[in-house]
Structure formats: structure tokens, C-alpha cells
A and B are shown apart, each in its own frame.
Chain A
């Protein structure tokens, strides 16, 4: 059986911005695959953040360890950096216990100055129901930042790999708007998230 659409949630500009988008994780699949399309916050320079919950945990605050690498390019003059580690967007297991660093980031920051600025990507979680392993995940995201000035238009890619350091089954995931440190703030102005299962 190939990918099966489990559910889809959309926050649209025509609706009230949402503080979060929650999904219940299905235990019937070997991997859960999320497509995250067109994320845009109500505030400037915000990322699409995520966190997990288990049946024994009281909130979305599981310890996450992740590594992040990526590239960027300025559309104005095609200048770019080298492929490098992205220190600002990784997560350490100690950060989930503080609300100011609680959420891991699947995308880099987005801007509100230009309508066409947005972030999209994919997140896959392997065996979220396993109770004999940490939960491993990979993500790949693209972000187009658009500040006020024309020379401040740039494209970023961000690849993340990591694990949730919890041997209890993951039962839910929450997507939010957060700052670069992982502090949930502002609201989600637009995002279209599809959750697929593969077995």
C-alpha cells in the first residue's frame, strides 16, 4: 500500500488566523509523512514550529534533538553562502522544557512584508508508535524570505534530522508559529498541511 491521506487541515487568509494546528498520530503506519505548504505567520520573521505529545505527557513538550544544514541565495545579485550547519534552527533536548524554546522548527523564518513570501516542506516521522525506540524524523523545507527592500529577497533551504528522546508512543503533533528560538508567538495566517501514512 502506498501513501494514504489520513487527514488535511488548512488555515486560509479568508479564515481567522489559528494559534495551532493539531493532528492525532495514527499508529497503523510505519511512517507518517506531512506536506506543509505555504506557511505564513501573522508576524514577521517567524518559523513553522512543531512539537509532540504522548499519552503520558500532559503537553506538547517532548525532548527533541536535531541537526540542521542548508543553503541560501539572494535573488537580487545571486550571491550565496556555502552549504553549512544552521545553528539557529537546531534543537537540543533541554530546550523543550522551557516555553521560550519549546518548539522545533521545520522551516526557516518567513516575512510578512511581501505576499509571495512563504515556506513549504516535508516532515516524515518513522514508527511514531514504537515503544522500544526513540522516534526518528527527517524534514526538508524551502523558504522564500522577502523583506521590505528588493535586495532583501532570498531563498533558503533547510534539512533537519533528529529524534524525539522518548520511548513512549507519540500520539499527537502540533504545528505553530514560533520565533527562531522556538517560542510560540503570533498566529498561523496560512498553511495547508496534509498527513499521509505509509505501510
Chain B
């Protein structure tokens, strides 16, 4: 497997980090690596949405699953679960939670990776897998996500006709204080 760095995106009190170019049919898989992303406010979700370039509303149709695991310092609390708060069904057209809450206290951050498969396909739903680690309120948190993205509602039954060309990352309700996203193409 060979990763080629396509672009680097740095947050500095940014509302969002957008990748508006470089997602094409040149690669079968794109990976977005997250390095120490920190929200301005405490306890917010890290999210993404995509679009086709012609629809710039960041509201594609997503069906997703979410699994979380956590362990609080001092062995106070630990568990793991399938989480229906962070999953999404086709009709929602909302931003997809890649994490549960992320902290903004000193030295807190999130890191991880999102893999997006065959975004240029016009035949298939676009699939993704993500895994992130974060700290919030003395918890180590593991967030595993997977899903598929449609450019039309599945109830339309018309199949997939549009390629995804852009992606947008943000924290749920605040700016990105700092951190870096790197986009790689995979061959």
C-alpha cells in the first residue's frame, strides 16, 4: 500500500477545514489523517460531510454505525457500546459524528483517520471507515465509525449517479482551535 500526500489543512480558530480539490478518480481510496485537533469549546463532536461540487450544501445522505469505548482515569468508569446517538440514517442529511465529545482542556486533543472509498464511483454508495482516539474529562475514548454515503435518497431507487468531490470537517458547535488534517491518496 502506498500513500501519497495530496494536501495539508491546518486549523487556527477555523470554523471548518474544507478539502475542495483533489478528490477525483485518481485514487480508489482517500485517507484523512487527523493530528491533535483541538476544539475551542469543551465537549463537542468532530464531524464531516461531503458534497458533489454542484450541490454545495453539505447535506448528502448517510447511513452509518457507531461504536464507542471509554475508560476514565482512576479506573472510575469504563465500557463500550454501539451508540445510536452518533449513528445516522439515510434521511438525516446531517453532519456525521466521527467522535463523541472531545475535550479542550490543556493537552487534550483527538487524532485518528478516516478512509473514504471510491468517491468518484457513479455506480455505488460511497463507503467510509473511521477510527479516532480522544481525551475528554479524564476519559480515554475510542470512536469507531463506518457508513455509506448516497448522493440521492435511497428511497428514490435511482442508484448513485454523482461523484463526491469535496469534504468538510468541523467541530459540532465551535471553531477548530488548532490541529492538522492531511489527505493521502492510496494505491
Answer whether residue B144 sits at the interface, using C-beta atoms and an 8 A cutoff: yes
CB B168 to nearest CB in A, in angstroms, measures 21
Query: Are A130 and B69 neighbours in the complex by a CB distance under 8 Å?
Result: no
Residues of B contacting A83 with CB < 8 Å? 67, 80
Query: Are B69 and A161 neighbours in the complex by a CB distance under 8 Å?
Result: yes
Please tell me the size bucket of the interface on B: 35 or more
Query: Are B107 and A167 neighbours in the complex by a CB distance under 8 Å?
Result: yes
Answer whether residue B26 sits at the interface, using C-beta atoms and an 8 A cutoff: no
Complex-state Cα separation, A84 to B80, whole angstroms: 6
Contact of B134 among A31, A90, A92, A136 (CB under 8 A): A136
* Contact count A vs B, C-beta below 8 Å: 113
Residues of A contacting B134 with CB < 8 Å? 136
Residues of A contacting B74 with CB < 8 Å? 92-94
Query: Are A134 and B108 neighbours in the complex by a CB distance under 8 Å?
Result: yes
Complex-state Cα separation, A51 to B176, whole angstroms: 31
Query: Are B142 and A65 neighbours in the complex by a CB distance under 8 Å?
Result: no
Interface of B is mostly: strand
- Binary A-proximity of B47-89 (CB < 8 A = 1, otherwise 0): 0000000000000000000010111011100111000000000
- Binary B-proximity of A82-106 (CB < 8 A = 1, otherwise 0): 0111010010111000000000000
Query: Are B36 and A161 neighbours in the complex by a CB distance under 8 Å?
Result: no
Answer whether residue B164 sits at the interface, using C-beta atoms and an 8 A cutoff: no
Query: Are A93 and B73 neighbours in the complex by a CB distance under 8 Å?
Result: yes
Query: Are B75 and A136 neighbours in the complex by a CB distance under 8 Å?
Result: no
Complex-state Cα separation, A137 to B110, whole angstroms: 10
Contact of A138 among B2, B67, B131, B184 (CB under 8 A): B131
Of A40-48, A66-74, A143-151, the one contacting chain B is A66-74
Query: Which residue of B has the minimal Cβ distance to A94?
Result: B74
Query: Are B80 and A90 neighbours in the complex by a CB distance under 8 Å?
Result: no
Complex-state Cα separation, A198 to B4, whole angstroms: 10
Query: Which residue of A has the minimal Cβ distance to B112?
Result: A138
Residues of A contacting B44 with CB < 8 Å? none
- Other A-B contacts than A93-B73, A137-B133, 12 sampled, CB-CB below 8 A, are A65-B73, A85-B79, A94-B75, A130-B36, A133-B109, A134-B108, A136-B110, A136-B133, A161-B131, A162-B140, A162-B142, A198-B3
